[in-house]
Structure 1
């Protein structure tokens, strides 16, 4: 029996077949469509009696390579890639839900996901209820006969709360409900939700998977029967990932482990520095022992990730003043870049939420989110230190 390759080897060595030019690095297939040998070849391809690329909205060799790598990394059966992380989330729900269905979601979700649940899905008769992560024991009482999906991000954005994936997996299986997990913050290198019972895993590949702030992308992987439904929905609605972005993201996966190792090393050091700073009232990082769900984090994650959240004194003005004093780090809404990014969620990424909604998920006026990059940690600490020491 051939030994299965390790994670890093899979990320590097899994490639589509070489063309007649014998290229070492995978070729880029920037084409809208593909040709057929004859009428029978065309008929059989459209009838799906054979695996063959037809049109790049359906499939493309670069897309296939990227998806196959994520499938292997997550321990999934199949997958489909999308033009963005939100395209992946919308298409996953759109393919699997019908009018009258109910979503049970963790309260701490990305702002655009919250908008889908509260603004758009209700127009199609799909309802959403939220459960609080710190009151997970109440989750079962919120399940309805119409509940089709349990959904969660872990770690959450931006409060870095940790949800017990094993607990969610057992509840979903007990009630015959699909479990969908957004694994964007952890990446498949740090966490594989399918091992804990998830049916589907969603990523915004725009973040750490790309890792350099270049392209948008998304991907959903998991059970083959569910991915089949997602594929059919997406084949007709058109949210597929472009060949160029697929090629970029597949190459990015080759360095995912070494990049994320450095990200995590820097983030932990930054969190430890901030925890001792007099101008910081609270620090959240999954692998700090002071984190409320530290034991769960170390159980299901390899390392703590690259995001650090902390609260500066002075509330809203204190948060904005801190942002204005940043010199080296970037001010951006993105994350997972080689460059350290500093964000003030209350006035940017989560500004569309009401004050009550933000407070419910721990987004205070003074909360700062840092996407720790790959610069020398002394330079990252120096920039945040001078911004705090006013």
Structure 2
């Protein structure tokens, strides 16, 4: 099946008991057994639930993977991957990361003796320099949050495999519509399903997909034992959201391109980060591994201090000042004090997350309304 068909049908069949076209919400914690162990695969809903199982199969299909696991948040999914490690292990990761990922790496798992190397991964060969016998995992985002750094997944995968390292790709910003890291050599793909996959700002959820059976068994054990699993209602909402993922992503990309082109020449914009521009670092890599360039854009405001940045970010009428991204509505975010507030100032500023940087999640509203809102807010 092609992407749009998978988004609507993968993992889902009419309910055999009623013929319902939509997967039912199996709002149950436990399941009757004819005899101990005779459970048709369902025992207790922390471990598995029919609504969630349909979602997991759909997520795996969208990423061209064999197995899927849905978690109660993106951080729950990230946490499960980190639990594959033990004290003394080392991780290579990017120097521009979602603030929540940086926080769990440095404030939680570093305390358990795991060492993290935060590197500029624009040159994949840097893995050869930092990998040693303790290195077990490479964790990348691409495009990164919020400066849209583009990492060559295929090249990183070759270096990781040469060193026998597990490669995990956070594919949240691209979504499976724009990019499929499994096809490029990733071992695990992580999503904050809250974002583009859910798409309606009404669910918090995460996901992991993979092909390797043994890796799936290990992650499923962590998933079941630690319990960061979502309920059936949230799973139903995401299944419903996925059915329009291909349509929404087309609109995000179209609006994102027009907003980026408008902002690139705006007199009050100093820098703009959007991988669709030919002068964006690693644009050619983005063009190779992505189908389009998405609706995420970051800008720095020319000559603006923190107070002026706050004034502008609070002055929008269509864009909403809020955390998160990837919903149908347009959002604006101040990473330094919001999504990346847990990263020390000197660390975030070193990669461009300055006090005058704003991140835009361009929604699917009428483009003329979005451009007019930008004009008035930046005036």
For Structure 1 versus Structure 2, the TM-score category normalised by the shorter chain is over 0.9
SS of residue in 2 equivalent to 1:43: coil
Contact residue 16 and residue 61 of structure 1 kept, 8 A: no
SS of residue in 2 equivalent to 1:8: helix
SS of residue in 2 equivalent to 1:103: strand
- How many positions carry a matched residue from both structures? 376
Aligned partner of 1:357 in structure 2 is 347
* Distance (Å, rounded) in 2 between the aligned partners of 1:44 and 1:93: 33
Q: TM-score scaled by structure 2? A: 0.96
SS of residue in 1 equivalent to 2:125: helix
Aligned partner of 2:376 in structure 1 is 386
* Distance (Å, rounded) in 1 between the aligned partners of 2:351 and 2:215: 30
Contact residue 315 and residue 364 of structure 1 kept, 8 A: no
SS of residue in 2 equivalent to 1:325: coil
Q: Which segments of 5 or more consecutive residues in structure 2 lack a partner in the other structure?
A: none
Please identify, of 287-296 and 53-62, the stretch whose mean Cα deviation from structure 2 is larger: 287-296
Deviations 1:164-216 (A, max 9, x none): 00111100111110000000011111000011110000000000111110011
* Distance (Å, rounded) in 2 between the aligned partners of 1:53 and 1:17: 19
1:131 is the counterpart of 2:119: yes
Aligned partner of 2:250 in structure 1 is 261
Aligned partner of 1:43 in structure 2 is 37
Question: Residue 122 of structure 1: CA displacement?
Answer: 2.2
What aligned pairs does 1:1-390 form with structure 2 within 5 A after superposition?
Answer: 5-14=1-10, 15-16=12-13, 18-37=15-34, 39=35, 42-45=36-39, 52-94=41-83, 96-222=84-210, 223-313=212-302, 314-389=304-379
Deviations 1:7-31 (A, max 9, x none): 1111112204513111122211011
Deviations 1:195-254 (A, max 9, x none): 111000000000011111001111100122212101111211110111111111111111
* Distance (Å, rounded) in 1 between the aligned partners of 2:229 and 2:146: 28
Structure showing the higher helix proportion among its residues: 1
Question: Residue 76 of structure 1: CA displacement?
Answer: 1.0
SS of residue in 2 equivalent to 1:271: helix
Q: Which segments of 5 or more consecutive residues in structure 1 lack a partner in the other structure?
A: 46-50
Contact residue 79 and residue 224 of structure 1 kept, 8 A: no
Question: Residue 138 of structure 1: CA displacement?
Answer: 2.3
Contact residue 268 and residue 288 of structure 1 kept, 8 A: no
Contact residue 312 and residue 366 of structure 1 kept, 8 A: yes
Deviations 1:347-369 (A, max 9, x none): 22212222211112211221110
Compute the RMSD of aligned alpha carbons: 1.3
